[in-house]
Amino acid sequence: MADFTLEFGRYTLELGAKTCIMGILNTTPDSFSDGGRFHTVDKAVRHGLKLVEDGAHILDIGGESSRPFAAPVPEQEELDRVIPVIEALVKQIPVPISIDTVKSGVARHALDAGASIINDITAFEKDPAMAGLAAERQAPVILMHMKGTPETMQVNPDYDDLMTEITGYLASRADYAVQKGIRKEHIILDPGIGFGKTVEHNLVLIRRLEKITALGFPVLVGPSRKSFIQNILSGKEKKPVGPDHARTEYGTLAAVAASVMNGAHIVRVHDVEKVKPFTRILDSIRNA
C-alpha cells in the first residue's frame, strides 16, 4: 500500500501504515443509522467527544441525510444543525473536522467555524463552487462516486463495467479538482459504497479496491452499517437485520477488515470504539 502524508493547517495525517478512522457524527433526524439520536447540539457534541476519545482521527459532521430516497434540506436548516456543533467541538478536540455537505455555502460557513476538510458525495458536481472554495482555503477534499442522487441512486443501479466506470469517474473528478487549483496531495477518493450500487457491486468494489488505490490517491471506504451488510445477514429467511443490530456491527467489522487489507487508507464508521482495536490488529498483520 502506498503511504501518503496529508498536511493542512495545524494538522498532519499519516495515511498508510496505520488505518485512519473517520468517526461519523450525524446531526440529522433521518439518517439511515442513528438518525435523530444526536439532533440537539448538546447530544451531538457529547457524541463527538466520545468518538474522539474512542480513537477517531477525523470527525465527519453532516446535517443532511444521504440515505437512499432522502430528500434535500434547505441550506439554512443544514447550517443550523452543523455550525453550533462544529464551533463547540473545534475548541475541545485535537483532531480535524470534516464537513459532509454538497453545498458550498454550508462548507464555507463550516470552514469559518473550524472545520478543515470537505467531504462532498457529489465530487463537486452538484455545486461547482465547492472546488473553488476548497482551492481558496487549501482544504483537503473527499471526492465520492455516486450513481444518480440519494433520491434515485438505489433504483436499479446498473453498470456495463463496474470497476472501469468508477475508477474512470474518480480519476476524472480528481483531474477536475487539480484544474480548479486543489493540490493533488489534498485529494482523497471514495468509491461510494452503497451509493447507487447493488449488494454485488459493493462486494466487488471492496474486493477489487486495488483498482482505485492504483489511481495514486488515498482511498476512503465507508461500509459502516450499510444495507448490503444487512441484506446479506438477513439471509434467505429475510429476517430483518437493521442498521443498529449487533450482527450488522459484526458485518461492518468484516467489511472494514476486507477494505483495509485491500488498501483502504481511511475507514468511515459509526462505532469507533469497536473499530479502533480491530484496525490496530489488522495494521499489525499488514505491517508484519
The residues that are catalytic are 226, 268
7 φ/ψ angles, rounded to the nearest 5 degrees:
-115, 130
d(CA 139, CA 153): 28
- HSE (side-chain half, CA atoms, 13 Å) at 171: 12
CB 52 within 8 A of CB 273: no
Q: Which residues contact 221 (CB under 8 A, 6 or more apart)?
A: 190, 191, 193, 206, 209, 256, 259, 264, 266, 267, 268
Strand ranges in 16-157 using DSSP code E only, listed in sequence order: 20-26, 58-62, 97-100, 117-120, 141-144
Kind of pairing, strands 11-15 and 4-8?
antiparallel
Q: Which three cell numbers stand for residue 197?
A: 450500487
